[in-house]
A and B are shown apart, each in its own frame.
Chain A
Amino acid sequence: MSLLEVTELSVRYGEETVVDDLSFSVNSGESVGIVGESGSGKSQTALALLGLLPRNANLSGSIRLDGNELAGKSDEELDRVRARRIAMVFQDPAQALNPYLRVGRQLRQILLQHRLASGKAADVRVIDMLQRVGLPDPVRQFRAFPHELSGGMRQRVMIASALIAEPDLLVADEPTTALDVTVQAQILDLLETLRDSTALLLITHDLAIVAGRCERLLIFDAGKLIESGATTAVFSSPQMPKTKQLLAAAARLDTGPIPAPVSGETLLDIERLTVSYGKAAAQRLQAVTDVSLSLRTAETLAIVGESGSGKSSLVRALLGLVPPQSGAVVYAGSQLAGSLQARLSGQRRDLQLVFQDPVAALNPQMRVQKIVAEPLQVHERGLSSAKRRERVAAMLAKAGLDKSFLDRYPHQLSGGQAQRVGIARALILGPRILICDEAVAALDGSTREQVLELLKNLQRESGLSIIFISHDLAVVRSMSHRVAVMYLGRLLEVADNASLFSTPRHPYTKALLDAVPVPDPRRALQAPPLGGEAPSMLSPPRGCVFHPRCAYAKARCSEQRPELREFAGVRVACHRADEISLNARY
């Protein structure tokens, strides 16, 4: 008999059905992946399994655990099952941990609740569990509050709390979506090694994550289970068009064309730019240190790095939203002022930004027409309102939205449509440089492809230069001509796309490439390429900023800071670039 048996499960909110007639089972010790885009009902299914659906949800069907019915049980009865039999790891550990309770107490509560241990024995067991999930110095972290831990460490605590009562089934809902790629590799590895005989239900939008880890896959679309089968079978011969689409959207680092380098004139020059926050020297946070980069006409320059690498601060300084501490930004031969107000109106026109969160970047009280028209009202005052409306409609059409969108409010748009509006607003003045700050990170696979395609087309038509900030290397590979790698506010490597992805010169670049999961179940899983996490910007390491995590570090790396230098056609900041030979895993 299988461990979990779900039959004809439906979840409705009023008229709307979010999970429709779902049946599947999970055997004990098995690992099953649930894959689907946002809104496919996968998270609702997870919540239903744990009896955590909101009150207004209407559940029908049956959920059996070891033959015992769970659907329709009271909270008291479910409390005996949750954590002890079924546990859950949530997407955002910052929200799933109680900020007022020390980490140790939160884990202890679970043991006490289920009478698994008490007193000193419980403490010992908690510390042992924290050690197993790889928390450094678990005795001290036992007394830490969640906010004192980094995102990756919090997710480790979350996993510890899920596994401490040794449940039979672990449900992990997008457990690594909020994390950086190198940390993601560590967390996925941890889940796999720790779970022993616990069955795993791994919910994700990314087929690459489940590829080597789950034995079976369930593909969800619009609340329905559309395809299921062994992972290898789903990957080698997908049946449904949606599955094929998901497979195509799982971007890879080893296939697909790479844009060839552009040889135009230099349009933008960043010279030794440094950005810092805070006035007192002791608390100054140096977000960007000594960065020099240039951008050519009609070129896409990608800036990659994990969170806290300073890429957003660099962009804000470029745009004049934060004045740089030192250094210069030279655009078309003249130096740009540090603050936006001091820049010439033409200079402001020429540099525009597309935001990460498409909906937050649009004023909720304004209609699309007004949002896109606003730049025209500022820069082209003479325009009649009819002319302006015409220009807005034409721009929206270019961005792939028809006239019916003119009178909509932002909340009436999907993420992809909102991002198109954001792009239309940025481009209506005809800027020469477009900066995309994680502009596709919040979008689903197929929508993301469309928005990227739109950007490429606009570049082809008008010779637009693009600075493309992203943590997603697969997107960077398909989009950009050159790539700059940042870590702790410094440039570690700048190289042409082709050379960076085939022969990375910096150990950190290689680690980033290796950490990207491969959407291919036939490839053997590899150990996470990097341990630990990036140190705090407030106290960056001496010498090379990367040396504490670098597998190739020598004594010199901890003493002397490597300068960015030319080597084999790329710029790299590594003492040992000419001694070591690195190859991407692909």
Chain B
Amino acid sequence: MKKSGAILLAILLLAIVGPWLSPNDYLTTNFDGILKPPGLSGAHLFGTDDLGRDLFVRTMLGIRVTLLVAVVASLVSLVIGVTYGAVAGYVGGRVDAVMMRFVDTLYALPFIFLVILLMVAFERNFLLIFVAIGAINWLDMARIVRGQTISLREREFVDAARLVGVSTAGIIFRHIAPNLLGIVVVYVTLTIPQAILVESFLSFLGLGIQEPQTSLGALVDAGVNQMEGASWTLLIPATLLALILLCFNFLGDALRDFFDARRAP
């Protein structure tokens, strides 16, 4: 946990501070210096892309955007999904049936069309990407949380809380939610990589991050086109993307153990 956390923190710091330290910016093109290979001696640490823009600064920017989209989207799905699933599972009966049929209906909607529709209806912006990704991820979260809640609801400590007069909200937040934490954390660490992938997919379709802004996904997409002549344009962002995804997975395992009181010393 310490290692993967430290690596993530280092990447994050670099992404925030890096662009300040570099003399270059992310949008100045230089057609005299396109596709320069990376090197410590030159002005471009990670080389340049096909428009001669500095890849170091662009990669750092990409990391910022990618992490922001992923974390915000996951938080959105976390808050909505856990609340929705816990309420449906605990209250049960007709309320549960109605709430879960609503989830099923949303599942059936073609998500890409929905996003295109949103893009057409509103101006393209960051916020929309969060909403789009959050809107699909919370559905899975709600289902998982509901299932867990139903099994927790039958546990004796919940009866015990009801008998001393704890309110329904109190039971959900004090007794059900803390016991859901383990599985939720694991699931969130799965949604973060998923959100990263969805974001890069949207960017590839031209619906996500727009040039000259960028994300790791968009950089990888651009790098694929230059793969043969300038492999670094693919390798550098792809390696960083893989590293980030791996770190999140390890972190998830560690966090699950951390939130489980039974493992506490």
- Which A residues have a C-beta under 8 Å from some C-beta of B? 319, 321, 340, 345, 348-349, 351-353, 355, 357, 360-366, 374-375, 378-379, 409, 411, 422, 425, 429
Is the beta-carbon distance between B162 and A321 smaller than 8 angstroms? yes
A345 CA to B166 CA in the complex, in Å?
11
Residue in contact with A374 in the complex, picked from B156, B164, B261, B262, CB distance below 8 Å: B164
Q: Determine if A375 and B157 form an interchain contact, defined as CB atoms under 8 angstroms apart.
A: no
A363 to B173, CA, bound (A): 12
Query: Can you identify 24 A-B contacts, CB atoms within 8 angstroms?
Result: A321-B163, A340-B163, A345-B165, A351-B163, A352-B163, A352-B164, A353-B159, A353-B160, A355-B160, A357-B156, A360-B156, A361-B156, A363-B157, A363-B179, A364-B157, A364-B262, A365-B178, A366-B174, A366-B178, A366-B261, A374-B174, A375-B165, A378-B166, A411-B262
Residues of A within 8 Å of B262, CB to CB, are 364, 409, 411
> How far, in Å, is A75 (CB) from chain B's closest CB?
32
* Cβ distance A449 to chain B, nearest Cβ, rounded Å: 24
Whole-angstrom distance between the alpha carbons of A374 and B179 in the complex? 17
Please name all residues of chain B whose beta carbon is closer than 8 Å to the beta carbon of A378 when the two chains form the complex: 164-167, 170
Give the interface SS of chain B, mostly helix, strand, loop or mixed: helix
Least CB distance from B157 to A in Å reads 4
Q: CB-nearest residue of chain A relative to B160?
A: A361
Inter-chain contact B157/A360, CB cutoff 8 Å: yes
A319→B164 contact, CB < 8 A: no
Question: Do the beta carbons of A365 and B261 come within 8 Å of each other?
Answer: yes
Q: Which residues of chain B are near A364, meaning CB under 8 Å?
A: 157, 179, 261-262
In the assembled complex, the Cα of A351 lies from the Cα of B262 at a distance in Å of 31
Tell me the bound Cα distance from A361 to B157 in angstroms: 4
Q: Which residue of A lies closest to B168 (CB)?
A: A341
Chain B residues within an 8 Å CB radius of A375? 164-165
- What 1/0 flags go to B141-170 for Cβ under 8 Å of A? 000000000000001110111111111001
Given the contacts A352-B164, A374-B164, A429-B164, A409 and B264 also touching, CB distance less than 8 Å: yes
Point out which of B155, B163, B166, B264 has the most chain A C-beta atoms below 10 A from its C-beta: B163
For window 227-265 of B, CB contacts with A under 8 Å fall at 261-262, 264
Contact indicator B160/A425 (Cβ below 8 Å):
yes
Tell whether, in the assembled complex, residue B164 and residue A340 are in contact, meaning their CB atoms are under 8 Å apart.
Answer: no
- Which residue of chain A has its CB nearest to the CB of B259? A365
In the assembled complex, which residues on chain A have CB atoms less than 8 Å from the CB atom of B159?
321, 353, 355, 361
Q: Which B residues are in CB contact (< 8 Å) with A379?
A: 164-165
The CA of A363 and the CA of B264, in the complex, are separated in Å by: 15
A411 touches B156 (CB 8 A): no
Q: Are A374 and B161 in contact (CB under 8 A)?
A: yes
Q: Which residues of B contact A345 (CB under 8 A)?
A: 165
In the assembled complex, the Cα of A353 lies from the Cα of B261 at a distance in Å of 25
CA distance A422 to B178 in the complex (A): 20
* Cα-based distance from A298 to B33 in the complex (angstroms): 94
Chain B residues in 8 Å Cβ range of A360: 155-157
- Minimum Cβ distance to chain B for residue A310 (Å): 18
Residue of A nearest to B162 (CB): A340
A374 to B159, CA, bound (A): 13
Cα distance A379–B165 in the bound complex, in angstroms? 8
CA distance A375 to B166 in the complex (A): 8
Taking A361-B159, A366-B178 as known contacts, 16 extra A-B pairs with beta carbons closer than 8 A to each other, sorted by chain A number, are A349-B165, A351-B163, A353-B159, A361-B157, A362-B160, A363-B157, A363-B161, A363-B179, A364-B157, A365-B178, A365-B181, A365-B261, A378-B170, A379-B165, A411-B261, A425-B160
